[in-house]
Amino acid sequence: MNLESELPSDVLAAIHGNRKIEAIKLLREHRNLGLKEAKDLVEIYVAEHPNLITKRRPNVETGYGRLVVVALVLTAMYAAYRFYS
């Protein structure tokens, strides 16, 4: 099954950009498909091309993880200060 020739270019771009939900929505709009049918087509394409979608990096690299770690360290330091003083 050659889905690449069957899927619109904006759907393929969404899949390649790791935006599967957007790809499903676009495919539903283009083909007037139900949610399950569009989801199945996108998942079949992804299964046939496993190297396209990369895993998202943990939040540490986006800045939020570091913020949480800093907040926890500061909280622990404050608690130690209050406990020992």
Tens digit of pLDDT at every position of the chain (85 positions): 566 568 899 999 999 888 899 999 999 999 999 999 999 999 999 888 877 765 555 544 566 777 888 899 999 999 999 998 8
Res 62: pLDDT? 60
Do 15 and 29 fall within a single domain? yes
Do 7 and 48 belong together in one domain?
A: yes
Shared-domain flag, residues 82 and 66: yes
Angle at 40 between CA 37 and CA 45, to 5 degrees: 130
| CA proximity to 41, closest of 58, 20, 72 | 20
Shared-domain flag, residues 3 and 44: yes
Domain that holds residue 36: 1-54
| Class of residue 14 by CB neighbours under 10 A (exposed 0-12, middle 13-18, buried 19+) | buried
- Do 8 and 47 lie in one domain? The reply is yes
User: How many domains does the chain contain in total?
Assistant: 2
pTM of the model: 0.58
